[in-house]
Structure 1
């Protein structure tokens, strides 16, 4: 792993922060990208704690801004010369019921979670193709395989990433670049708090979906004690970066594999009843 370089987006917290530390501990040089570099204190504190501060370089990157991506691409190539691992992690969870989610909110969700991934990947594809080796690891979600009410912006974005990653994997396979999807369940990150802010309209007293959204919030809150440690995902990502032939998908987290299996094999009417029943348990 020595002399290899990894680019990780969305590194101020959650999976991005944990993955940056874990890869640095494995010997990689890590370019930790974040939209606001003033939020780098948690990352650098953890880097010092683990003795890997010299392996981590924080650079500014707004995945929704073309100029920011170009400036980031230039700095990486000029200063590091190669990218062996690209981890597309930056994103947030937009929430709300379809009727109450504006088209601008849908577009904003896709600008970050979908088009941001496309643009950052395209920025480094020529380099990785010429290297004839590398890993592109896209952080998807169980939501990319299993839908859930009240989260359609996020779920739609992750379904898009799933299909796009399949195409990219087939395109890059002849060039030695491996494309992988990580599909986490619920972990202790700040992604859900962002989603709840977006869902504010559906929690207003005048909303016809208020009771439904409150049921969803109760369901999520009831399971928070069982949310996983993001380090588990970071360790899995580090393992993948040394696999000769990684699979395309890695579901990870409590109940994730079971949920995907049941959704794929149960008749839809039965699956639907299970979801609704679970949500409205008081």
Structure 2
């Protein structure tokens, strides 16, 4: 197999699905992983639509299960023996207020969004190090740089990925392996769709946070029409995958760079005043 090899986790929808197709169209052979094989129909349909079905290898992978990772690792090593690009995309978003989120729910969020990324990356680091080249692209979020109330499980997980990726980039630099963070803003994916969130207690009538949570939902809902096309992110990922010396971070999306800049420049008291006023403005 002479194609470059890419691994993309979490490809049943959203960034993962579109990125797999975009990389295949660029000539990569893509190991597209799904947690449940029955949910790969949309990916296969899109691959056929663009004539790249032969470039997509669908494989079941649960990033929270060590045996599943080992099985997948063995398959990749036996079939192709190398990895040029690893894209850690699998994840979900948990919401709710800290007081009402159980520790079990926090752990569930971190098992996928954080420890899953660690485990999959560790499975392929020896191979990439020995190759002396490769690119690891971790899908973070503006939430990894800018916090927001009511979304602490997701935001904490993305902050963790930010710091870990910095350490990994410094560790792998001498071995020719690049580590990159993509920091998308709001895009039209299904990460916030019903059933994706960890905690919903804060929306219940008996919750002391109900009004606050409704304000957050309204704020997010009012901006939905301006959410970006996820293809923009997929194209950026494919572009970065082909770069010899990619940057550490790529913030992308409407208002993302400005928000990160303002948060870093403004005094915290002013920053929090702006956030709270936006949430509760009529």
Same fold (TM over 0.5): yes
* 1:88 corresponds to: 88
* 1:18 corresponds to: 18
Whether the 8 Å CA contact 1:203–1:213 is kept in 2: the answer is: yes
The separation in 1 between residues aligned to 2:194 and 2:183, in whole angstroms, is 19
Moved more, 85-94 or 74-83: 74-83
The one-character-per-residue Cα deviations of 1:47-86 (angstroms, maximum 9, x if unpaired) are: 0111100000000000000011011101111112111000
Q: Give unpaired runs (5+ residues) of structure 2.
A: none
CA drift of 1:210 comes to 0.1
* 2:277 corresponds to: 277
The one-character-per-residue Cα deviations of 1:191-243 (angstroms, maximum 9, x if unpaired) are: 11257743320011110000000000000000011111111000000110111
RMSD, matched Cα: 1.0
Q: Give unpaired runs (5+ residues) of structure 1.
A: none
The separation in 2 between residues aligned to 1:178 and 1:77, in whole angstroms, is 20
- The change in CA–CA distance for 1:88 and 1:196 in structure 2 (over 3 A counts) is closer
Whether the 8 Å CA contact 2:105–2:199 is kept in 1: the answer is: no
The separation in 1 between residues aligned to 2:122 and 2:171, in whole angstroms, is 13
The separation in 2 between residues aligned to 1:113 and 1:12, in whole angstroms, is 16
* 1:75 corresponds to: 75
Whether the 8 Å CA contact 1:92–1:195 is kept in 2: the answer is: no
The separation in 2 between residues aligned to 1:189 and 1:87, in whole angstroms, is 17
* 2:154 corresponds to: 154
The one-character-per-residue Cα deviations of 1:107-131 (angstroms, maximum 9, x if unpaired) are: 0000000000000000000000000
The separation in 2 between residues aligned to 1:188 and 1:250, in whole angstroms, is 18
Residues 1-282 of structure 1 aligned to structure 2 (within 5 Å):
3-194=3-194, 197-282=197-282
TM-score, length-normalised on structure 2? 0.98
Whether the 8 Å CA contact 1:93–1:194 is kept in 2: the answer is: no
- The change in CA–CA distance for 1:115 and 1:76 in structure 2 (over 3 A counts) is same
SS in 1 for 2:200: helix
CA drift of 1:184 comes to 0.2
The separation in 2 between residues aligned to 1:194 and 1:112, in whole angstroms, is 18
The separation in 2 between residues aligned to 1:62 and 1:206, in whole angstroms, is 36
